[in-house]
Amino acid sequence: MFDDIHAYFIENVIASYAEYKKRKNESKSGQNIDLRKSLAAANSLYHFREHLPNKYKKSRKELSQLCSDYDLLGDIVNASKHNILTNNWKFLNTAKNISEQIIMTKYQDSEGEYFNREKIICVKLIDGSERDLFDVLTNVLNMWYTYLFEIGILQNENKEVIIKPKQPIRRNEATGNKLDFEHLQGVRSIVVAKLQEYNYTTNRIENVNLDDGKVEMIIYKPKYEVELKLIHKETKKEIIIPINLTEDEMLQMDQLKNDSEIKVFLFNLTKKQGIIKSDSSFNEKETEIVKIK
C-alpha cells in the first residue's frame, strides 16, 4: 500500500472519498455510518501530504493557500480525533459540531406536495455558519488532483464536480421522503432532521418553524419472510409458499451450517405453523428456497 504514491492516492484517498459518496447517495441512515465514512475520507485527504516525497511536501499553511478548505479540514480531522481542541484551531474546536443531518425539502406542484431528501454531514463553525462536509472533501480532493498533475504524479488533471440541482426541484427529480433507518438494539440512536420548504414567491428555500408543530416517527418491528418452493411427491406439482419467521427463528436459521439444514428447518416450520399437514405429500428433499427477505 505504501510502496507507490500514485497507487496510494488511488487506492486510499480516492477510494475512501468514493465510499462516502456512495453511502451519501443511498436511502439509508443510522449507526453513524455516513459520519464514519466521511471522516475516513477526511483523514485520508488531510494526511495525504505526509505521504508525499520530501521534495514535494507542503505544510498545512502552504496547502491552505492552494485551497482554503484544507485548513478547515485540518480542524475537522483533529476535532474528530481529540474531541476538544484547546489550541491551533481556527474554525471549530469540538467534535460535537460535526454531525449527520437529514434535510427534507417540501415542494408543490399541480399534483400536490412532494419532498426531496438529502443526507449531509453538517459542520457548524465557530462563527455560526454551517458547511456540508462533502463540499469540503470535494474541494480538497480537487486541490490534490491539480497539485499531483503539476508535479507529474497524475497524467490527467481530474475534477470532481459538485452538482447542485436547479431550484425548484421537479417532482420527477426529487428523491422523495422515504429513508430506511438502521439501528442497533440497546445502543442510543440520534436522528437530526431539518424540514425546509421552497417559497415560490421569493424563489428561496426557507426553514419550517416546528415550534408549534409535531413530528412523528413510526418504527416497525422487523418482519422476516422466506419463500419456499415445495414439490408434491406424486403429482410433482410445485407451489411457492411464504413463511413468516420470528426474530428468534431467524437467528436460529443463521446458526445453521448449510443449505440442507436450512431447508429441513424451514420445512419443519411449515408444519409447525400449520401451513402443511404433518403427513403431507410434499417432498422434503426437493424443497427449494426461493427468496429470503
What is the per-residue pLDDT across 159-209, written as a single tens digit (0 to 9) for each?
998 888 899 999 999 998 888 887 777 888 888 889 999 999 999 999 988
Contact of 187 with 200, CB cutoff 8 Å: no
> In the chain, what percentage of residues exceed pLDDT 90?
58
Determine the pLDDT at residue 68.
Answer: 96
What whole-number distance in Å separates Cα of residue 19 and Cα of residue 182?
18
Q: Is the pLDDT of residue 13 over 80?
A: yes
Percent helix, strand, coil in the chain, to 5, is 40, 25, 40
Contact of 98 with 121, CB cutoff 8 Å: yes
Q: Mapping DSSP to helix (H, G, I), strand (E, B) and coil, where does residue 120 land?
A: strand
Q: Is the pLDDT of residue 73 over 60?
A: yes
Q: Take residue 239 and report the three cell numbers written for it.
A: 407451489
How confident is residue 75, by pLDDT bands cut at 50, 70 and 90?
Answer: very high
For the chain, what is the radius of gyration of the CA atoms? 26
Check residues 134 and 273 and name the one with the higher pLDDT: 134
Contact of 67 with 140, CB cutoff 8 Å: yes
Check residues 42 and 288 and name the one with the higher pLDDT: 42
What pLDDT digit, counting tens, does each position of 205-245 carry? 999 887 766 666 666 666 678 887 777 777 777 788 788 88
